A and B are shown apart, each in its own frame.
Chain A
Amino acid sequence: MAASVAARGGGAVTRRLLRGAARGLRGAGGGGGAAAEPDGDGAAAEPAGAVVNVVFVDRAGRRVPVRGRVGDNVLHLAQRHGLELEGACEASLACSTCHVYVSQTHLDRLPAPDEREDDLLDMAPLLQENSRLGCQIVLTPELEGAEFTLPKVTRNFYVDGHVPKPH
């Protein structure tokens, strides 16, 4: 019902309600905490949902600029834009298929990894100092301009080039 109101071009209140509902859903999938992020440009009316522009670099080296939002989970964001991040365990911290390299300048702006994330990163091939698990990265305004590069391979041995569907 609310969706149809929006489709007819409903008012700002309705739009805010819809955004809030969508944010709630995304927050549940992405590990929470998004609603508390302060908006970068000081417009206190919209605490979350502000745009964060990031760039994904896919396994072939192609740059894919993406408009994310504060509170977005990087794994799901990538999947929504057709990037090859499998996310086999569906963001439950049980695999390393969402392994990404984070651009050096933005690496320190991420919270330190949980021990369990570090344990799973140990198992990821082609590990580097700037490696993180995509499903544990939640977009914040400080990550504006961040680059997430997909490593050439994941733990799956699809040497025939098979790409698994996102989970």
Chain B
Amino acid sequence: MDDVHQNLPESSTRGNLVEQRTLFVSVAPAAMPTAKPIMKPIFILSKQLAVCVLQDPRVLDSMLPYLMTYYGNPHSRTHAYGWESEAAMEKARRQVADLIGADHREIIFTSGATESNNMAIKGVARFYKSRKKHIVTTQTEHKCVLDSCRSLETEGFQVTYLPVKRNGLIDLKELEAALQPDTSLVSVMTVNNEIGVKQPIRDIGEICRAHKVFFHTDAAQAIGKIPMDVNDMKIDLMSISGHKIYGPKGVGAIYVRRRPRVRLEPLQSGGGQERGLRSGTVPTPLAVGLGAACEVAQQEMEYDHKRISLLAERLVTKIMNEVPDVVMNGDREHRYPGCVNLSFAYVEGESLLMALKDVALSSGSACTSASLEPSYVLRAIGTDEDLAHSSIRFGIGRFTTEEEVDYTVQKCIQHVKRLREMSPLWEMVQDGIDLKSIKWTQH
């Protein structure tokens, strides 16, 4: 019997959701009788959850009216079409604010967490540049944060990229020591998208508040999954992503504190929408979707967390019991359970991914999947380069089923064993040779 569901509270919508989803998959090519059905993987979308997720059907339901009937511009002040769109947009704003303990006036809609991160970092830095020229961040941030910092360095700002410990967490004493009188911003992500590690946000907030430095956190992987409160955690700016919490792609938000007021130089100039910080028409259907996703996440958070923890435990335990020489990257305790990063020694990562192609996994995150460099996050936690190449990230989420986890585990074990059989390195290790002692020659 289903040991996953045994001790969990009943959720009346749960059964409906699973049914809906299975229906979704089997109906596929009915509308296109002449098209050859694509070999769709059975367990689609289950493992790419850290990257992008299936939209929750409740979110889709909330968006449809605004895609079909209520198509007014929310900034049109003079007619009912505008008013109803504006009402929907403001409702969504409140839903986002409620999830993080903010005031609705502190939420600005953007095109996603990448834009929010750019706004926070470049915006704050440039506004205060007459007096403050220093920014502190970590080496494991998302690429958009690191790239924004690099671009600021070309503008004459100074950036400190804090190293992390082997478990992926920053050292609070190092953070405090890095703060200077001319530091305008500290940016540390809440949950890392590659290794799932959760930084001590409340402690960082305390330090920043004490030194009167603004604290920005990229919470794209965290909100809706773990409780966040901007006042309790003393957060001044926060980036939010729609598609990480079962909402639509192409929308996100940024939280900008009003008391004490944080000012930003806007990246996008125009008609002054969104408090002058982000001009441009707010996409009502997407904003409504984001709001609904936040509300649903707030309701489901506790249940999801318990269920995902159990599934993650199941995945990791089963793999590690069957297969030796597997390393879990990132702190075991301070983490979000739904993002598991495992390194399989003596196995080539891309080969394993291709072998597991009917499960949508990744090595590194989606934004690095086109590049050849191994993950800089893994390098920052001190992972050896060969181990970094053989790392796989498993994402477990609201719609992941136990069957999917078991299937993935079984395939993973099977292919790791197969690839190791083929691996000369594995053979050498079995013979007791210390690989580090070998001098490899170049041809």
Chain A residues with CB under 8 Å of chain B are 115, 118-119, 122-125, 127-129, 155
Known contacts A115-B258, A127-B263; is-contact A122 B128 (Cβ 8 Å): no
Q: Are A123 and B272 in contact (CB under 8 A)?
A: yes
Smallest distance from the beta carbon of A89 to chain B beta carbons, Å? 16
Chain B residues with CB under 8 Å of chain A are 105, 127-128, 130-131, 258-259, 261, 263, 265, 272, 275-277
Smallest distance from the beta carbon of A94 to chain B beta carbons, Å? 14
Q: Are A118 and B261 in contact (CB under 8 A)?
A: yes
Tell me which residues across on chain A come within 8 A of B275, comparing CB atoms. Answer: 119, 122-123
Tell me which residues across on chain B come within 8 A of A115, comparing CB atoms. Answer: 258-259
Since A119-B105, A122-B263, A127-B127 are in contact, a sample of 12 more A-B pairs with Cβ atoms closer than 8 Å, ordered by chain A residue number, is A118-B258, A123-B272, A123-B275, A123-B276, A127-B263, A127-B265, A128-B127, A128-B130, A129-B127, A129-B128, A129-B130, A129-B131
Smallest distance from the beta carbon of A10 to chain B beta carbons, Å? 51
Smallest distance from the beta carbon of B55 to chain A beta carbons, Å? 33
In angstroms, Cα B262 to Cα A129, docked, is: 10
Smallest distance from the beta carbon of A132 to chain B beta carbons, Å? 13
Tell me which residues across on chain B come within 8 A of A124, comparing CB atoms. Answer: 276
Tell me which residues across on chain A come within 8 A of B259, comparing CB atoms. Answer: 115
Tell me which residues across on chain B come within 8 A of A155, comparing CB atoms. Answer: 272
In angstroms, Cα B47 to Cα A79, docked, is: 65
In angstroms, Cα B265 to Cα A128, docked, is: 9
Q: Are A122 and B276 in contact (CB under 8 A)?
A: yes
Smallest distance from the beta carbon of A101 to chain B beta carbons, Å? 11
Smallest distance from the beta carbon of A150 to chain B beta carbons, Å? 18
In angstroms, Cα B265 to Cα A125, docked, is: 9
B269 nearest in chain A by CB position: A125
Tell me which residues across on chain A come within 8 A of B277, comparing CB atoms. Answer: 122
Could you jot down 14 A-B contacts, CB within 8 Å? A115-B258, A115-B259, A118-B261, A119-B105, A122-B263, A122-B275, A122-B277, A123-B275, A124-B276, A127-B127, A127-B263, A127-B265, A128-B127, A129-B128
Smallest distance from the beta carbon of A156 to chain B beta carbons, Å? 12
Smallest distance from the beta carbon of B11 to chain A beta carbons, Å? 41
Smallest distance from the beta carbon of B119 to chain A beta carbons, Å? 14
